[in-house]
Amino acid sequence: MEKSFPQWGKNSTDFSTAWKTPLAAYFLVGPTASGKSAVAHCLAQESRPPAPLISADSMAIYRGMDVGTAKPEAADRAAGPYFGLDLVNPDQPFSVGDYLSAIHASTPEIVAAGGVPIVVGGTGLYVKALLEGLDPPASHPAHRAAAEAILAAEGLPALQAAARALNPAEFAKLRDPENPRRVIRAYELLAAGHPLPTPASTGPSPRPRSKLAGLLLPAEELRACIARRARQMFAHGLVEEVRELRARFPELSPTARHAIGYAEAADVLAGLISEEEAIRRTTLRTTQYAKRQMTWFRRQADVAWIPVGPRDDTARLAGKVRAIWATHGPAPLRPHRAKTN
């Protein structure tokens, strides 16, 4: 008999509306275009009432950026509660801390929806922050926002290079330079002209990583999915969406302005490239981003990867994800800032 995963309803004492007692969620991660959103929606609809879905996508937080971010269709959003979408206008800066604050503010609604929440997305920094919390508030928010933007747009190696360029000698002192949170903090301090703190000789042992479920497509199939999605985005009106965004928001935030697909659509509007070239560039940038996502999850998370085969439709994949969740249980969240030692 298949093990069922727990259901926490409206009257359960397992949840706290203030997140001061343990809150837990199931996680489904993977690279962009891997089909995880459809699988998560399927799993959410199996619960009664439907389980709340929490998006962990740093582009889906922008209002009005729908086509190019592959947000859930209106019918899917109407079928069950979604959180983490449309949190801010695209002309405003938005940090990981802002994301956690927004999810925290939605806690009463998440609890009221019933069922164990499902976190789905490919933004590793959002996933890690939900699981481990954040460092203390930035003393230099602009520098931290700049670091987060570099990480989101270009990946960890680019952020490491940017931080190292600020002060090579100080950067060489950084413990665990493969940890994005530590590199962000280092960039923030070095950009402000501060030295890095001396590591404490002792400290608490790190918490064991929670087991997450992830979808893994063969490289060639993932590239084909990415290419199809890029073409579909332009066919479904991405250029027109960018035209409308520019009319409403003359000055987009750097992250929104350089978002994959949106920068290329803007170049089409400016007459700099053809739509076919925009599709090619969008496909290439998305493929590079998917590689960075996989590198991040392999280094920074404990993921039970599910190989996606040619016979695996959404329902079949949902069954495989369900089996992993039933084995490992939901992961506890830490939607507050980590304390310093």
Query: pLDDT tens digits, residue range 136-151?
Result: 665 788 898 899 899 9
d(CA 31, CA 122): 6
Highest CATH level, class, for 23-133+209-333: alpha beta
pLDDT digits (tens, 9 = 90+) for 287-308: 999 999 999 999 999 999 999 9
H or E segment to which residue 307 belongs:
strand 302-307
pLDDT tens, position by position, 1-59: 333 333 323 333 232 333 444 589 999 999 999 999 999 999 999 998 999 999 999 99
Predicted TM-score (pTM) of this structure: 0.78
Amino acid at 213: A
pLDDT at position 173, please?
87
d(CA 13, CA 25): 15
Q: What is the pLDDT of residues 49-94, one digit of tens each?
A: 999 999 999 999 999 999 999 999 999 999 989 999 999 999 999 9
Q: Cα–Cα distance between 120 and 145 in angstroms, integer?
A: 23
Nearest CA among 43, 33, 86, 48 for reference residue 64: 86
Q: What integer pLDDT is reported at residue 82 of this predicted model? A: 96
Listed by start position, the domains of the chain span 23-133+209-333, 141-191
Tell me what the pLDDT averaged over the chain comes to.
87
Average pLDDT over residues 103-124: 93
CA distance 84 to 55: 5
112 token code pair:
């009221």
Which pLDDT score, from 0 to 100, does residue 302 have?
95
| Residue 179 · residue 301 · CB < 8 Å | no
Q: Which tokens hold the place of 172? A: 């060489």
- CB atoms inside a 10 Å sphere around CB 205: 5
Residue 62 phi, psi (nearest 5): -90, 130
Dig out the tokens for 286 from the structure: 């998305």
Mean pLDDT of 95-99: 92
SS3 261: coil
- Asked if the model's pLDDT at residue 333 lies above 90, the reply is no
